[in-house]
Structure 1
Amino acid sequence: MVQPSSWVESGVKLSKVRDLHLFKFTDELQARLDDLAERKKAKDLTKAEAAELAGILELDRIFTLLNARVILEWKL
């Protein structure tokens, strides 16, 4: 797996949603995720691309949890 932290500097942004700042992928990283996911469905990924996809998906899971935590704390 490609380390999720490798995209933190260039593939992540904070987006203001209402009064919250949430973690989001940049348009470029989101497009790469979409492309890799589509190619996985078509069974057209190299091992390196599969490792890249795994890393991006792990980062997505991390940000989903962090964003949920931010929203929960904001509602309290």
Structure 2
Amino acid sequence: MDTPQRRLAETAEAFFLAAETSLTDEATAAAYRTTLTLVQLMLDGSRAQDLVGEAEHQHLTGMVNGLRDAPDHL
């Protein structure tokens, strides 16, 4: 089924395939999710320091969450 989540997952997977790996590999997916958790920590810190506004933080968090779920849509 063609959904925005599926298209995002396919885009992310294309980047990994170009690097000769795949988000369908459990270890790769785990490292990918860990990295995105670190990115979220950075965004949360930026929000806490008022470096980004609430609306921007919510938008970026939604994008990170969409990326984090990418392996589930492959």
Q: Give the number of the structure whose residues are more often helix, by fraction.
A: 2
Q: TM-score range, shorter-chain basis?
A: 0.3 to 0.5
TM-score by length of 1: 0.38
Q: Which has the higher strand share?
A: 1
Which has the bigger relative contact order, CA under 8 A and spacing at least 6?
A: 2
